Structure 1
Amino acid sequence: MAVKTVEDLFLHELSDTYSAEKQMTRSLPQMARAAADPQLAQAFLDHLEETRGQVERIDEMVEILNLKLKRIKCAAMEGLVEEGKDLIDEIDKGPVLDVALIGAAQKVEHYEIASYTTLIALATKLGYTPVLPLLQASLAEEKATDDKLGKLGQAAAIEEAVQA
């Protein structure tokens, strides 16, 4: 896709974010199954539901702005998902893997936070005000998930991993 205008860039970024969110809907159940800590597994499942809602919000934005998403694959998310799979394959299930999964998930959240922040800035400049609340809602969810993961990581998981 040739990006020549800010409108093209917004569409590219939205398409990329859509791909990233779709990839996460496939990855989060695997992360939940790999987690030993029930709270962590539940956090992944809770975020799966939020992620499905974020995909729906992007569909809603497309409709509101009368856009057609580009068929692209988010390479950054593909790499982050692959890193998570490698951790699951290489580390035995237990507290050490849980800590690794928290870190991997936070990398994803930080990427998504950057994506939504960029989309909000572009939408603001382009006057796409009807979609701003949708983008802001997704951004708020990503930040809340990052915070929740950070608290889980600071809690018992790391202590258990150090003792293991």
Structure 2
Amino acid sequence: MAVATLNDLFIHGLSDIYSAEKQLTKALPKLARAATNSELSAAFKTHLEETQGQVERIDQVVETSGIKLKRLKCVAMEGLVEEGQEQIEEIEKGPILDAALIAAAQKVEHYEIAAYGTLATLAKKLGYTEGMNLLLETLEEEKATDEKLTMLAKQELSQEEVGK
């Protein structure tokens, strides 16, 4: 897709994050099953529900903005998901894997925070006010998930069983 205008950039970015969210809906159940910490597993399950809502919100942005998404694959999310899967395969189930899963999930959240922040700014610049508000709503959810993961990381890493 040739990107020549801000609107093209917005469509490309929205298409990219749509792909990212779709990939995440497949990855989150695997993370939830791999986690041994019940709070972490529950956080992944909760975020799956939020992610499904975020996909629906992107559909609303598309509808209210009168644009059409492009079919593309978010290679950044593909790499982040693959990294998490490698950790599941390589690290024994337990507190160390839980810590690795938190780190992997936070990388995803930071990617999403950057993407939604940029998209909300572009939507504002392009006059897509309703779309901007929807994107800002998702941005706040992503930030809240990142905070929850930070709290879980602090709990997980403070447990004696993690060792050194």
| Fold equivalence (TM over 0.5) | yes
**What is aligned with 1:111?**
111
Q: Distance in 2 between matches of 1:80 and 1:158?
A: 26
1:16 maps to what in 2? 16
1:4 matched residue in structure 2: 4
Q: Is the 8 A contact 1:15 1:72 kept in 2?
A: yes
- 1:26 is aligned to 26
* Residues 31 and 158 of structure 1, relative CA distance in 2, 3 Å threshold: farther
Secondary structure in 1 matching 2:71: coil
Task: Indicate yes or no: 2:63 matched with 1:63.
Answer: yes
Which residue number corresponds to residue 96 of structure 1? 96
* TM-score, length-scaled by structure 2: 0.97
Matched residue type, 2:126: L
**How far has the Cα of 1:66 moved from its partner?**
1.5
Is contact 1:36–1:94 with CA below 8 Å preserved after alignment? yes
1:131, CA displacement in angstroms?
1.0
1-side partners of 2:34 and 2:52: how far apart?
20
CA distance in 1, matches of 2:82, 2:148: 23
Q: Say if 1:161 and 1:67 are closer, same or farther in 2 by CA, change over 3 A.
A: farther
Pairwise CA distance, 1:132: 1.5
Q: CA RMSD in A?
A: 1.1
Contact 2:29 2:45 in 1 (8 A): yes
Deviation at 1:112, TM superposition (A): 0.1
Q: Which runs of 4+ in 1 moved over 3 A?
A: none
Q: How many residues align?
A: 164
**Further displaced range: 80-89 or 120-129:** 120-129
Identity rate, percent: 62
TM-score (norm 1): 0.97
State the distance in 2 between where 1:4 and 1:159 align. Answer: 52
From the superposition, tell whether residues 100 and 88 of structure 1 become closer, same or farther in structure 2 (CA, over 3 Å): same
The answer on whether the counterparts of 1:96 and 1:161 sit within 8 Å (CA) in structure 2 is: no
